[in-house]
């Protein structure tokens, strides 16, 4: 038997989505614009010079990005030693569940419910439901916002009133922020868990608990975030692997995204550094025939949504070194695929995800380009490598 590792670099898009304009994202290109900023000396906080990603560029990152958008990426010009291509999404969303489900072989078969970008953003029956479950007379927020900005604005009022801070984004998501001590972490998690089925029935993709700590003006998120995601409406790669008796390892948010379906073991941590340690350890320890599915979220949460170009560049360069340590531990016959679920161009307007193609970089299966593919083809490739059923309509590119 052989092993497979599917690694999602959350939001590391490479531009070129043919339907970007329909999402208001024409011209967005996460990797290209970060690399251009680095090359021009505009991303030197905590780093300097051109973007340096020799490991992933060596697998084909620069070539995949050029294929996706037609432009060379400054600093990424290696001759690929892996298999590489660019994937295009068909699901009508640019969010975490859409991208991950489709990478796992299941395009989203329905339209998500989104909340309008106005204040108030939520209908009265939803506000009443939150108040009923929380035992409060009202909520704060009731608008579109990034998480860090709404904490700056409303965390103090939350401490005074005890009301939960509720907000959303262009994604199909309802987020609740509350202080772990003043409101209570368990109370927040219970609130989100109870509310989630009510919103899932209305095709809202996720309810996210966003706990924080601090006082006065020193508010900070904690690692105790919890996603309550709608269950996939059909079989995924995880289902097929576990159904065939294979061990599956979920690193990071994967367990939440797939409602723990098809997951044998869950590996979480305080941040991406902990998750990278899990990935490298599993390169040593994962069972023959197993599937390891990982999500590295901090590109998106810490640097994409906050529009921090230099921070995103630092995260990419850090991850590239950890990818090298991981690849050095793979066994003959292993397959490792590095990809992404959407874009989040830190140089683009707004604070939200961007509709983009994503790289597909394969180690352990030779060299050469396979060109354009679909997200579902990633699942087909992994399924074929493991010798399990293909969950969706994709075709293996290997």
Per-residue b/e over 209-234, b at no fewer than 16 CB within 10 Å? bbbbbbeeeebebeeebbbbbbebee
Annotated binding residue at 342? yes
Is 385 a known ligand-binding residue?
Answer: no
Three-state SS letters, the chain: CCCEEEEEECCCCCCCCCCHHHHCCCCCCHHHHHHHHHHCCCCCCCCCCCCCCHHHHHHCHHHHHHHHHCCCCCCCCCCCCCEEEEEECCCCCCCHHHHHHHHCCCCCCCCCCCCCCCCCCCCHHHHHHHHHHHCCCCCEEEEECCHHHHHHHHHHHHHHHCCCEEEECCCCEEEEEEEHHHHHHHHHHHHHHHHHHHHHCCCCCEEEEEEEEEECCEEEECCCCEEEECCCCCCCHHHHHHHCCCCEEEECCHHHHCCCCCCCEEECCCCHHHHHHHHHHHHHHCCCCCEEEEEECHHHHHHHCCCCHHHHHHHHHHHHHHHHHHHCCCCCCCEEEEECCCECCCCCCCCCCECCCEEEEEECCCCEEEEEEEHHHHHHHHHHHHCCCCCCCCCCCC
| CA angle at 68 for the pair 338 and 325, rounded to the nearest 5° | 20
What is the spatial distance between Cα 358 and Cα 17, in angstroms, rounded to a whole number?
A: 9
25 known member of a binding site: no
Q: How far apart are CA 351 and CA 170, in angstroms?
A: 9
**Is residue 1 classed exposed, middle or buried when 0-12, 13-18 and 19+ CB atoms within 10 A define those classes?**
exposed
On whether 10 is known to bind a ligand per the annotation, the reply is yes
Q: Is 353 annotated as a binding residue?
A: yes
Buried b (16+ CB within 10 A) or exposed e, 53-91: bebbbbbbbbbbbbbbbeeebbbbebebebbbbbbbbeb
> Does the annotation flag 44 for ligand binding?
no
- For the annotated binding site for Mn(2+), the residues are 10, 300, 305, 341-342, 353
- For the annotated binding site, the residues are 10, 300, 305, 341-342, 353
């Amino acid at each position: 038997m052989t092993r497979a590792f599917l690694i999602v670099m959350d939001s590391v898009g490479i531009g070129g989505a043919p339907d970007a304009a329909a999402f208001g994202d024409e011209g967005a290109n996460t990797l290209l614009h970060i690399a251009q900023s680095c090359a021009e000396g505009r991303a030197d906080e905590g780093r300097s010079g051109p973007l340096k990603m020799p490991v992933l560029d060596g697998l084909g990152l620069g070539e995949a990005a050029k294929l996706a958008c037609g432009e060379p990426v400054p600093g990424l010009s290696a001759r690929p030693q892996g298999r590489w291509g660019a994937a295009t999404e068909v699901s009508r969303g640019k969010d975490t569940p859409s991208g991950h489900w489709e990478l796992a072989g299941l395009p989203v078969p329905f339209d998500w419910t989104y909340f309008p970008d106005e204040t108030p953003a939520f209908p009265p029956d939803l506000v009443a439901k939150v108040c009923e479950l929380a035992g409060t007379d009202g909520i704060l927020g009731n608008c579109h916002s990034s998480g860090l900005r709404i904490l700056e604005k409303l965390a103090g009022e939350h401490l005074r009133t005890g009301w939960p801070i509720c907000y959303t984004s262009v994604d199909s998501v309802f987020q609740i922020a509350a202080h772990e001590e003043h409101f209570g972490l368990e109370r927040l998690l219970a609130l989100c868990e109870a509310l989630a089925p009510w919103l899932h029935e209305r095709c809202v993709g996720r309810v996210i608990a966003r706990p924080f700590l601090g006082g006065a003006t020193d508010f900070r998120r904690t690692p105790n975030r919890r996603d309550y995601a709608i269950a996939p409406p059909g079989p995924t790669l995880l289902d097929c692997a576990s159904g065939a008796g294979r061990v599956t390892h979920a690193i990071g948010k994967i367990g939440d995204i797939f409602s723990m379906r098809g997951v044998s073991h869950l590996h979480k941590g305080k941040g991406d550094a902990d998750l990278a340690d899990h990935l490298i350890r599993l390169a040593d320890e994962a069972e023959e025939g197993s599937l390891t599915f990982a999500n590295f979220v901090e590109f998106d949460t810490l640097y994409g949504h906050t529009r921090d170009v230099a921070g995103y560049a630092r995260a990419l360069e850090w991850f590239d070194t950890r990818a090298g340590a991981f690849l050095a531990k793979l066994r003959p016959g292993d397959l490792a695929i590095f990809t992404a679920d959407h874009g989040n161009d830190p140089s683009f307007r707004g604070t939200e995800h961007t509709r983009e193609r994503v790289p597909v970089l394969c180690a352990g299966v030779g060299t050469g380009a396979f060109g354009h593919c679909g997200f579902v083809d990633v699942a087909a490739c992994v399924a074929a490598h493991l010798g399990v059923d293909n969950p969706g309509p994709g075709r293996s590119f290997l």
